[in-house]
Structure 1
Amino acid sequence: MKSFLSDITAKYGDHGYEGDQYGGAAGHNGNGLPTGLPNNFMFATGIECSYPTIDHGKTRRDQLAECDHYNRYKEDLGLVKELGLKVLRYGLPYYKIQQAPGKYDWEFADLAMAEMQRLGITPILDLMHFGVPDWLGNFQNPELPVHFADYCEQVAKRYPWVRFYTPVNEIYVTAKSSAKDGVWNEQLKDDKAFVTAMKHTVAASIMGTQQIAKQRPDCVIVQSESAEFMHELHAEHTPAVQMENSLRFLSLDLLYAHQPSGEVLNYLYDNGMTRKEYDWFMAGEPPGYQVMGNDYYGRNEKIMLPNGEICTSMDVLGWYTITSDYYRRYRKPVMHTETNVFDAKEAPNWLWKQWTNILRMRKDGVPVLGFTWYSLIDQVDWDTGLAKKNGVANACGLYDLDRKPRPVADAYRMLLQEYGQITIVPHGELFEVTSRPATLKVEI
């Protein structure tokens, strides 16, 4: 019996039919460098920009200065473009720009932003990264949300072409390191101080987002937050560790108006949050397209041994498992917003492991929109969490401090060449971030 394929082959040839190039879900396999189109998966890197204070406010740790970005910003941004990346997590030095209420210094910001625009780089603009201007003091100041909202408004007005923002980077880490672990800024070790810092930073993010949305109703808010977990090797788990594993969600619970557990709610009330403040947070989530960014370093995941000693576990659960917990809780589109390791030889393997985690998450149907190797160049003193000014270069960048590529840069280039044109979500021809304002979400 004659097969229909005989006639098809005779008329149109054997596979590779004319017309196939115009699409369908399998029209293109996704390889090739990123295009920057709205439905393109967002491959990114970042410029490390932390600026907390230590020594009880006497010493400012400005990574933009310590990594020489202020002098070499054109070179650094050129490396982003040369690598083939279209997206950059970029933090303006808030503590230097807002010099007093209503007084701003935009000199460096204007230069850097103009260069980014010239190169066609899309910034995810980071507006507060672990520190505040000296005149605001620290995260215990209740005036912070109002002054920060003013700053956000001025940024959005000054750079109307910017659409993607991270108003406050890693809110949980900011509050914990400053007010519970005693490392940065106010350097307190107190539950009440931690709750106070948490309230003020989340409120700052919410009020800042509102001001951004007034200028850009279609803003995309990529909330970068640390994916944390503590494994406890005790036959009977201790309440303190279990509470810590619950508190890791607190910043996003308040930000996204997700009711925390009764135990956490009691903790908030016991440590200074009023019912009126809680109700304010639970009134609804901020405007804009909300993307849940999860940062994952193997050192975020720890193990408490039976003798109480704490060691770094690297990736027992990994980004996939931990971020799955966050996704099930909030049901937001996801981005892997930070990762690295301090061992330059191990970095390419770590990159591939993180990418494997992302592919597995996407296979589950979770909309993972982007990935970030953080950062572009090596960092300084993050081996001590910036607690001590030793001047130690941490070999975690795509490039070293002399702007020479590390092995992970070649690995990232290979990854981009293979996957750079995959869509934001599988079959992403049906989904892209549009230019329309985000609409209110309702549950049905």
Structure 2
Amino acid sequence: MAQQGFLDKIKKKYGDGNYEGDQFGGAGGHDGSGLPNTDPSNFMFATGIECSYPTIQNGTVRRDQLRECGHYDRWKEDLGLVKEMGLQVLRYGLPYYEIHQGPGKFDWSFADEVMAEIKRLGITPILDLMHFGVPDWIGNFQNPDLPIHFADYAGAVAQRYPWVRYYTPVNEIYVTARISGKDGIWNEQLKTDHGFVTALKHCVAASIMANQQIAKYRNDCVIVQSESAEYIHELCATPSAATNLANELRFLSLDLLYANPPSATVAMYMMDNGLTREEYNWFMSGKPPGYQIMGNDYYGRNERIKLPDGSIQISMDVLGWYEITKDYYERYRMPVMHTETNVFDADEAPKWLNKQWVGILRMRRDGVPVLGFTWYSLIDQIDWDTQLGELNNRVNACGLYDLDRKPRPVAQAYKNILKEFGQITIVPYGEMLEMTDRPARLKTNV
């Protein structure tokens, strides 16, 4: 008779060989599948409602995407679609230019209605306070009074909606400053380095001051800084100084926001174009308060190839979100969120979504704390193929739903991901690291 091994003895004692409690973690534990829930350690699956509102044509036309895409009339239906998707988190922007009507003057009529419905539905908003535009009375991003006016607004929002914890004070600071101050498309429509640096320093200062005011009323605030993940590839044996500078400037907003000293080349560029030594020292004094998350927005069109003749091609995913975001993570060592992505081809969108998700899984395997993912946006957008610079009323088929609120193929693809991965934690055994409601008190350097 063959001698019994240890496994035979275990099965004789415990039946199938499993031990008591295995169902709570281990070989028989939960694999993280199932629709997202509200456990604080869980990965945040989100969408957003496109809410840009820059001006064009020398300030005479306001491109309000909430209006152009029908959200003001169908906001309750749109919020219902978030729940229909099975999502718990929504990047949502209130129309700052409409609400803030003057120093100390606010119109909360629309905001109160929609925020009450978000709260009723149990949706967690990441509240976007400034999205590519400012009120007419402030003018544009060249106004040095912007940081103090915007701080007043942020404080008023935090007082009015004390249940909101997650904020993006200023969306895509680098893009805001570049398209308004350097590319000449939005708002002040300047095409100068001085205009770019001025807009950028004012936006970063506005974000910092807003963050401080939010923390006064919500000291456990979570700040999700959404910034564009950019890169230019140059097909020249000797890359130009302009391209090298551009690939350094993509970090500039986060360098100033997170008090990370930029390179000497960038520091000289800023000071040549209006940044004072006193302003620089102020930016370098430390990170803003609260819990900080580095959000990277990635669209294939963020990556560009510069040809020897100077022309630009959209490269669509040469490095991809994973490689570019890894550069940002290694620079700042901040928790990461994929805060925006889409593609304008509705038939290609499911494939694009899956590629982004594979990048996130790989980043998580590398040990990087990735807190969430966002398909942006819930519904289609208008004229983003020209960066809102032209009034073509052209539909960009990038939403989970079209403008008639009918699902596009990517909606089902996203639901499939939610069903398979919806209850994964931010990091393995993330239950041990659940989000605390205590104030952020420690300044940790890694």
**Category of TM-score, reference length = shorter chain:** over 0.9
Name the structure 1 match of 2:6. 4
Unmatched 5+ residue regions in structure 2? none
Cα deviation, residue 11, structure 1: 3.0
Give the match's secondary structure for 2:130. Answer: coil
The normalised TM-score by structure 1 is: 0.98
Name the structure 2 match of 1:274. 276
Assess if the C-alpha contact under 8 Å between 1:178 and 1:186 holds in 2: yes
Deviation string 1:328-370 (CA, Å, 9 cap, x unpaired) is 0000000000000000000000000000000000100000000
Q: Letter of the 1:149 partner, please give it.
A: A
Q: Letter of the 1:439 partner, please give it.
A: R
Cα deviation, residue 289, structure 1: 0.4
Find the aligned partners of 2:372 and 2:200 in 1 and give their Cα distance.
27
Assess if the C-alpha contact under 8 Å between 1:304 and 1:310 holds in 2: yes
> Which of 147, 150, 167 pairs up with 1:148?
150
Deviation string 1:86-130 (CA, Å, 9 cap, x unpaired) is 000000000000000010000110111111111100000000000
Cα deviation, residue 18, structure 1: 4.1
Name the structure 1 match of 2:330. 328
Cα deviation, residue 25, structure 1: 9.6
Name the structure 2 match of 1:194. 196
Name the structure 2 match of 1:13. 15
> Which of 348, 362, 371 pairs up with 2:364?
362
User: Are 2:31 and 1:29 aligned?
Assistant: yes
> Which of 271, 295, 298 pairs up with 1:296?
298
Q: Letter of the 2:209 partner, please give it.
A: M
> Which of 90, 107, 110 pairs up with 2:109?
107
- Aligned runs of 1:53-72 on 2, under 5 Å? 53-72=55-74
Give the match's secondary structure for 1:135. Answer: coil
- Aligned runs of 1:367-406 on 2, under 5 Å? 367-406=369-408
- Aligned runs of 1:105-184 on 2, under 5 Å? 105-184=107-186
Name the structure 2 match of 1:407. 409
User: Are 2:280 and 1:265 aligned?
Assistant: no
Give me the CA root mean square deviation.
Answer: 1.1
Name the structure 2 match of 1:420. 422
Assess if the C-alpha contact under 8 Å between 1:424 and 1:432 holds in 2: no
Which one is further off, 399-408 or 425-434? 425-434
Assess if the C-alpha contact under 8 Å between 1:362 and 1:426 holds in 2: no
The normalised TM-score by structure 2 is: 0.98
Q: Percent identity?
A: 73
Deviation string 1:377-408 (CA, Å, 9 cap, x unpaired) is 00000010000111111000000000000000
> Which of 342, 345, 349 pairs up with 1:343?
345
Give the match's secondary structure for 1:127. Answer: strand
Find the aligned partners of 1:24 and 1:153 in 2 and give their Cα distance.
46
Name the structure 1 match of 2:88. 86
Name the structure 1 match of 2:242. 240
Give the match's secondary structure for 1:303. Answer: strand
Find the aligned partners of 1:437 and 1:213 in 2 and give their Cα distance.
9
Change (3 A) 1:442 1:31: closer
Give the match's secondary structure for 2:170. Answer: coil
Cα deviation, residue 141, structure 1: 0.2
Name the structure 1 match of 2:75. 73
Find the aligned partners of 2:251 and 2:367 in 1 and give their Cα distance.
23
Q: Letter of the 1:260 partner, please give it.
A: P
Assess if the C-alpha contact under 8 Å between 1:25 and 1:427 holds in 2: no
Assess if the C-alpha contact under 8 Å between 1:380 and 1:393 holds in 2: yes
Find the aligned partners of 1:175 and 1:34 in 2 and give their Cα distance.
36
Find the aligned partners of 2:27 and 2:246 in 1 and give their Cα distance.
44
> Which of 291, 306, 309 pairs up with 1:307?
309
Unmatched 5+ residue regions in structure 1? none
Cα deviation, residue 17, structure 1: 4.2
Q: Count residues in correspondence.
A: 444
Find the aligned partners of 1:112 and 1:26 in 2 and give their Cα distance.
43
Deviation string 1:174-204 (CA, Å, 9 cap, x unpaired) is 0000000000000000001111001100000
Cα deviation, residue 235, structure 1: 1.0
